[in-house]
Amino acid sequence: MAGYKERVTKDLDLWIAAGHVAADKRAAILGSIPDARRLDAATALAWVGGLLLGIAIIAFIGANWDGMPKIARFAVLITVFAACAGAGAWAAHKARPIASNILLMIASVVFAAAIGLTGQIFDIAGDPKAAAYASGIAALALALAGRSTGAATVGLVFIAIGDFTDRQWFSGAESEAPWMLFAAPLGAFLALRWGSAPLAHVTALAIIYCFGWFAGRMEADAGVFLFLALLLGAAAAGARWLYAQERAFSGVFFGWFTAGALLFFAIAGYLPWFGDENSANAGLAHRLVWLLASGGVLALGRFDRHALVTAVGVLSLIGAVCATLMDLGLDLMAAAGVFLLCAIAALVAGLMLRRSKTHA
């Protein structure tokens, strides 16, 4: 979906051509609409540089670790963390949001390293999972205090590391609830509230992971996967509504939730539920619905001009076609013929649509 200013520009040219708006008003009208915020190269390099700076600080401390007494080591860790956090607060006070965001992200990374190094200083036997969770909570606290999307992203990453540490997958009702169940909704709220694309991507994947954990807790039953696919589809519909309301980066959730819904539906077809319970496949009925759903998502992505949804529809359609061909037991030559016919049909349909649009 094009940005608001781009759509107004296109419509304004049509209104001027139709005589509804004077041509000399065009510049004034467009000038009153703010440009959409974009991540330029300088800002992207600043983010990469900030992350590398945090890693460099940790590496420098580690390189000189053995030559310092214990108190000096601890003092260095506290000083570096306090300096980064204080610099982030100063940048926020001076209305420099990008610098504040990057500095708080560095502070969250330094704090995570400080937890492990502090345990090494005082010979404290620690739990890796607890250390990851503590780092994640501290990073989220810094994010909330300083409105830092970078620190929030770091916090979600460390929460995920804690969830994946010593995890017993598909262990039924005894599976321990991941902390991401609480962190992911907070991340989604902050991503939409602050308009952060990286945080939106990380949070969307975290939410899909939570759905996967629930499916594993229920011992991977096909009915559960279908139910979760419907929930993700409903979430995608809600994100699409926000996307139509011009909510910043809600389209990220729209794309990932759509991908999650199709993925869970595809997995459900290979679990015993539809037909014979002793069969590993759901049959051609599932493949037909999968094909139709993929085609619908592809059409929806083109209608909304949403690149991620369109790509999800294409990949899902390819997967559905391949699964159908495997079920039919076609050899490679027959499969190649089917794909050739589909490609020819797609090209002919595209040329006809382009020709009809040109004549119109």
Q: Write down the domain spans for the chain.
A: 1-36, 330-360
Q: What is the pLDDT of residue 36?
A: 55
For the chain, what is the mean pLDDT?
77
Q: What is the pLDDT of residue 275?
A: 46
**Nearest alpha-carbon partner for 162 in 126, 198, 212, 194:** 126
pTM over 0.75: no
- Compute the distance between CA of residue 280 and CA of residue 282 in angstroms, rounded to an integer: 7
Total residue count of the chain as it appears in this document = 360
Q: What is the pLDDT of residue 79?
A: 84
Q: Which tens digits make up the pLDDT trace of 23-33?
A: 777 777 777 66
Q: What is the pLDDT of residue 260?
A: 92
- Compute the distance between CA of residue 56 and CA of residue 346 in angstroms, rounded to an integer: 52
Q: What is the pLDDT of residue 271?
A: 74
User: Could you tell me if 253 and 200 are in contact, meaning their C-beta atoms sit under 8 angstroms apart?
Assistant: yes
From the number of C-beta atoms within 10 Å of its C-beta (0-12, 13-18, 19+), residue 294 rates as buried
Q: What is the pLDDT of residue 3?
A: 55
List of E strands, 78-163: none
Q: What is the pLDDT of residue 1?
A: 44
Take residue 102 and report the two structure tokens written for it.
């990057």
Q: For the chain, 360 residues long, give each residue's pLDDT as a single digit of tens.
A: 445 666 677 777 778 887 777 777 777 777 766 555 555 566 667 767 777 777 776 676 666 656 667 677 777 778 888 888 888 888 877 878 888 888 888 888 888 777 766 666 555 556 677 778 888 888 888 888 888 888 888 888 888 888 877 666 555 555 577 888 888 888 888 888 887 888 888 899 999 988 888 877 766 667 788 888 999 999 999 988 888 887 767 888 999 999 999 999 988 887 765 445 545 445 677 888 888 888 888 888 888 888 888 888 888 888 888 777 777 776 666 667 766 776 777 677 667 666 655 555
Q: What is the pLDDT of residue 278?
A: 47
- Please provide residue 249's backbone torsions phi and psi, each rounded to the nearest 5 degrees: 60, 15
